[in-house]
Amino acid sequence: MPSSIHHVLVSLLICVLWTEPTIAIKQSYIVYLGSHSHGPDPSSFDIESATNSHYDLLGSYLGSTEKAKEAIFYSYNKNINGFAAILDEDEAAEVAKNPNVISIFLNKKHKLQTTHSWDFLRLKSNGGIRKDSIWKRSFGEDIIIGNIDTGVWPESKSFSDEGMGPIPKKWHGICQVDKQNQDKFFCNRKLIGARYFYKGFLASPSGGKGLHSVSFNSARDIDGHGTHTLSTAGGNFVANASVFGYGNGTASGGSPKARVVAYKVCWDSCYDADILAGFEAAISDGVDVLSVSLGGDFPVEFYDSSISIGSFHAVANNIIVVAAGGNSGPAPSTVSNLEPWVFTVAASTIDREFTSFVTLGDNKTLKGASLSELELLPNKLYPLITGADVKYDNASSKDALNCEGGTLDPQKAKGKILVCFQVPDDCHFLCRTHKGVEAARVGAVGIILANSDKDSGSGIQADPHVLPSSYVNFIDGSYIFNYINHTKSPVAYISKVTTQLATKPAPFIASFSARGPNLVEPTILKPDITAPGVDIIAAYSENISPSEQEYDKRRTLFNIMSGTSMSCPHVAGLVGLVKSLHPNWSPAAVKSAIMTTATTEDNTGGPILDSFKEKATPFDYGAGHIQPNRVVDPGLVYDLNITDYMNFLCARGYNSSMLRFFYGKPYTCPKSFNLKDFNYPAITILDFKVGQSINVTRTLTNVGSPSTYTAQIQAPPEYVIYVEPKTLSFNQKGEKKEFRVTLTFKLQSKDKSDYVFGKLIWTNGKNYVVGIPIALNNPH
Ligand SMILES: *[C@@H]1O[C@H](CO)[C@@H](O)[C@H](O)[C@H]1NC(C)=O
Ligand SMILES: *[C@@H]1O[C@H](CO)[C@@H](O)[C@H](O)[C@H]1NC(C)=O
Ligand SMILES: *[C@@H]1O[C@H](CO)[C@@H](O)[C@H](O)[C@H]1NC(C)=O
Ligand SMILES: *[C@@H]1O[C@H](CO)[C@@H](O)[C@H](O)[C@H]1NC(C)=O
Ligand SMILES: *[C@@H]1O[C@H](CO)[C@@H](O)[C@H](O)[C@H]1NC(C)=O
Ligand SMILES: *[C@@H]1O[C@H](CO)[C@@H](O)[C@H](O)[C@H]1NC(C)=O
Ligand SMILES: *[C@@H]1O[C@H](CO)[C@@H](O)[C@H](O)[C@H]1NC(C)=O
Ligand SMILES: *[C@@H]1O[C@H](CO)[C@@H](O)[C@H](O)[C@H]1NC(C)=O
């Protein structure tokens, strides 16, 4: 009828005219439901029913199951019960009211965060495997390590299956290859599986933009990150690996004979819905270890995080989840991946540096970092000039000093060495290599990056720039600027890169490594541990240049990278070794073994320092630096199981619906459970008052030979700490003993720091030394 057509038109017009600014925008959401009614081993019928129940539920809001099928892009139908769907805000609000819906979240994005490191970790030396090396006992044979990341470059020699036996029977996964795709992706007996999840990225506000020349339908790594991290965890031995000949040697992962699997969830970013799909697949596929070098920008409550929920289900299925602590250091409370069931890794240096020296016209020589293979002509000094002095008239001095794109005048820069400011906190790898590209583009012959932030510590990284380069610390950078200011014709030379080994002190904490305390739950110490994460050489994607700049046409089979993304897979590789030697240990027992055997000393015998050359604390490194050869036989472990983690969530005040995110059935919280008694391998108490005493309990489980242990306390001067009983005897494997620690704040501190630190060690006086960190607040 005409009138009704008119009505439709008018309403459409009204809609366009009046409601456009607030029109319900379609966004992608993750909808969590209660437990699956099927058990842990669903049949294909169970899985199909679960998916159908998702269609029915959403269909009842959208008008039909057809519409629901269109809207839903993931049905989490195996371990995690829920789905991801495109909905408008009103629909999402309606769905949220359904009694079966526990919660509904926006699909948010997450950031991504060689080979000498295994020598530094004492697995090998002089090219051979050390006598006391854990590698004498295991190469991680038949352990399956999954990596949730940007995919993998399958042709890399690190994933060669030479010498690998048949694929373990426990593997249930697939090698997802799209027949239409010409990219020739493949798996083998080393890289036994790969999957890709992009629907959350497509459904994100960017709608999948930002990808060029790349098909979605492949787990191929076009970024390099995933290849680097996966090969660090489980790459095979590759002789004669190097970046431009630097750092040459045998490359390998921590578990060189493990099987590896790539779950590609990161495209331009990594979205929640894809991450969760990756976790769910990994659980069903039968992986033993998951390496997750991802994190959000801000810490979020556990029920609000796909990584928290995915990792909880993984741990409940006996998978050990290792995650990066993040690169937002050195400010306090920057660490992310804060769940007690996750193994969270900080980043520190190894005893190798890639150095290029800057020599100035006054004969002063300064030590910087570089991994550029290009060299200046020898025995020649080049004019030295700052970015600000070669700026275009229309550019600001500040931008030009930072050598930002389009600010530098080639007429002024040509043939000179350019000095550029480098603000470490808001300018990471890509930004640094971009400055190199800018310098090369305007005809500079070399670039010196000068760390411009005295509060960022001495952190400098060796980057594969497209021209001769050196990255110098704040003090040396200031010297260079001062020299330029006070010299008529400043000149300089940048030396060829040299590799320095056995550098001291090492390790020290990387300035970028994110720091505790834990913003979500301060009584759980985070990060848990530190491992090598600066200037790490590992396999790389041949799709991209080592500087990750388009301008750069170089390709390398191996590349150097820094970040907690690099330290995380070192720990994942170590976990693979422990798991292969102790298949029955729980994820918490493996984590405890690695934490209680960690060291807080560096290679000078002094305490591990931070990048300011000050003594580092458990908020920098958790329990300390990994010592792989000690991990196999820790003596005692602080164990935890799923009941403990549920009690932990109870103690955080989670109500029954929040608990259902995590647990497959209703969970009744215990009447009394104190977070202080949560059996974590660290004691962190932050609510002390002057004169107050607090008791905490812990339980040790024997995994070693029969021994009698005594407690040793290193108490901070402000506290008195007693342990009761003071000795514990263990006769059998699996035997458990509880002890109590009484901490009393006795003395107002002269020290104005917010926290003080100590250590509790149980030792049999011989081979077993079981240490945990203590972090206490410092009332003043
Ligand atoms: C090692 O690698 C370098 C650079 O890639 C190459 O020039 C050299 O021939 C290789 N040596 C061996 C023994 O394979
Ligand atoms: C690395 O290269 C240097 C220089 O070519 C050579 O002396 C050294 O033996 C190589 N090291 C390894 C482990 O191949
Ligand atoms: C730098 O050292 C060279 C060689 O030792 C010497 O000839 C030159 O005079 C020195 N220059 C300055 C400024 O000290
Ligand atoms: C600044 O001037 C240069 C050279 O004239 C020009 O190429 C560039 O586009 C200008 N930049 C801006 C932001 O106007
Ligand atoms: C060098 O001079 C510039 C201005 O020309 C000034 O901003 C800077 O602080 C000076 N640096 C040093 C180290 O003297
Ligand atoms: C977890 O360990 C506690 C003892 O520490 C035990 O009471 C509980 O039954 C265990 N839970 C599971 C699920 O094994
Ligand atoms: C649990 O808490 C959430 C958030 O405060 C609330 O929305 C929900 O209704 C609560 N559920 C129960 C069963 O109390
Ligand atoms: C700590 O435990 C001991 C022994 O049970 C008890 O005597 C003491 O009162 C407790 N202290 C506190 C502060 O609860």
CB 148 within 8 A of CB 295: no
Write down the pLDDT at residue 22.
41
* Separation in Å, CA 315 to CA 47, 341, 521, 643: 21, 7, 19, 12
* Distance, C-alpha 632 to centroid of its chain: 24
Give the model confidence (pLDDT) of 9-25 as tens digits: 222 222 222 223 345 57
Nearest to 320 by CA among 163, 59, 519, 144: 144
Q: Determine if ligand 3 sits within 6 Å of the CB of residue 379.
A: no
Ligand (nearest to CA of 381): 3
What local confidence, expressed as pLDDT, does residue 483 receive? 97
Q: Looking at the CA of 379, which ligand is closest?
A: 3
Q: Ligand 1, residue 245: give the atom nearest the CA.
A: 4
* 612 CA to centre of ligand 6 in angstroms: 44
Q: Could you read off the pLDDT of 456-502 as tens digits, one per residue?
A: 666 788 999 999 999 999 999 999 999 999 999 999 999 999 988 88
636-640+679-777 carries CATH number 1.10.3720.10: no
Beta carbons of 350 and 117 less than 8 angstroms apart: yes
Distance CA(269)–CA(251), nearest Å, equals 28
Question: Measuring CA to CA, how many Å separate 223 from each of 36, 322, 421?
Answer: 36, 21, 27
Q: In whole angstroms, give the CA distance from residue 480 to residue 384.
A: 9
Residue at token pair 């965060």: 113
pLDDT at 111: 67
| Top CATH class, 353-500 | alpha beta
**Residue 245 Cα: closest atom of ligand 2:** 2
Q: How far is the CA of 657 from the centre of ligand 7 (A)?
A: 6
What's the CA gap between 478 and 742, in Å, rounded? Answer: 49
Q: Does domain 27-106 have CATH number 3.30.70.80?
A: yes
Comma-separated ranges of CATH 2.60.40.2310 domains in the chain: 636-640+679-777
Tell me, what's the pLDDT at 308? 93
- Tell me the C-alpha distance between 343 and 594, whole Å: 10
**Pocket perturbation via mutation, ligand 5, pick of 384, 474, 478, 485 by most ligand atoms within 8 A of CB:** 485
Known catalytic membership, residue 486: no
List all residues whose CB is within 6 A of at least one atom of ligand 5: 478, 481-482, 485
Q: Is 642 exposed, middle or buried (0-12, 13-18, 19+ CB in 10 A)?
A: buried
Q: Which of 463, 405, 399 is nearest to 433 (CA)?
A: 463
Tell me the ligand closest to 558's alpha carbon: 1
Q: Is 292 helix (H, G, I), strand (E, B) or coil?
A: strand
User: Which residues of the chain form CATH 3.50.30.30?
Assistant: 353-500
Chain length of the chain: 780
Of all protein residues, whose CA lies closest to atom 6 belonging to ligand 6? 643
From ligand 3's centre to the CA of 490, what distance in Å? 14
Q: How far apart are CA 57 and CA 102, in angstroms?
A: 13
Q: Identify any residues that bridge with 245 across adjacent strands, giving them in sequence order.
A: none
Cα 406 from Cα 383, distance rounded (Å)? 21
The residue from 54, 116, 225, 570 that is catalytic is 225
Cα–Cα distance, 168 to 259 (Å, whole number): 9
Q: Which long-range contacts (CB under 8 A, 24 or more apart) does 583-587 make?
A: 585/637, 585/703, 586/318, 586/639, 586/640, 586/641, 587/315, 587/318, 587/319, 587/320, 587/321, 587/341, 587/343
Using alpha carbons only, how large is the chain's radius of gyration in Å?
Answer: 27
| Segments in the chain below pLDDT 70 | 1-24, 111-115, 127, 208, 210-215, 297, 425-426, 456-458
CATH of domain 139-350+508-630: 3.40.50.200
Pick the residue whose CA is nearest to atom 11 on ligand 7: 657
| Alpha helices for 317-424 (secondary structure H) | 397-401, 410-413
- Ligand closest to the CA atom of residue 490: 3
CATH 3.30.70.80 maps onto the chain at 27-106
| Rounded Cα distance, 653 and 351, in Å | 45
Q: If you measure from the C-alpha of residue 482 to the centroid of ligand 5, how many angstroms do you get, rounded to a whole number? A: 7
Supply the pLDDT for residue 21. 33
| Catalytic residue selected from 149, 272, 285, 552 | 149
User: What's the longest Cα–Cα distance across the chain?
Assistant: 95
pTM, rounded to two decimals: 0.89
For this structure, is 465 an active site residue? no
Distance CA 292, CA 592 (A): 19
Ranges of CATH 3.40.50.200 domains, the chain: 139-350+508-630
CA-closest residue to ligand 1 atom 12: 240
Strands 365-369 and 352-360: antiparallel
Res 456: pLDDT: 65
Tell which one of 240, 555, 559 to mutate to probe ligand 1, the residue whose CB is within 8 A of the most ligand atoms.
240
| Residue 149 is among the residues annotated as catalytic for this protein | yes
Ligand 8 mutation pick, 738, 742, 743, 744, max ligand atoms within 8 A of CB: 742
Atom 9 of ligand 7 has which residue's CA nearest to it? 657
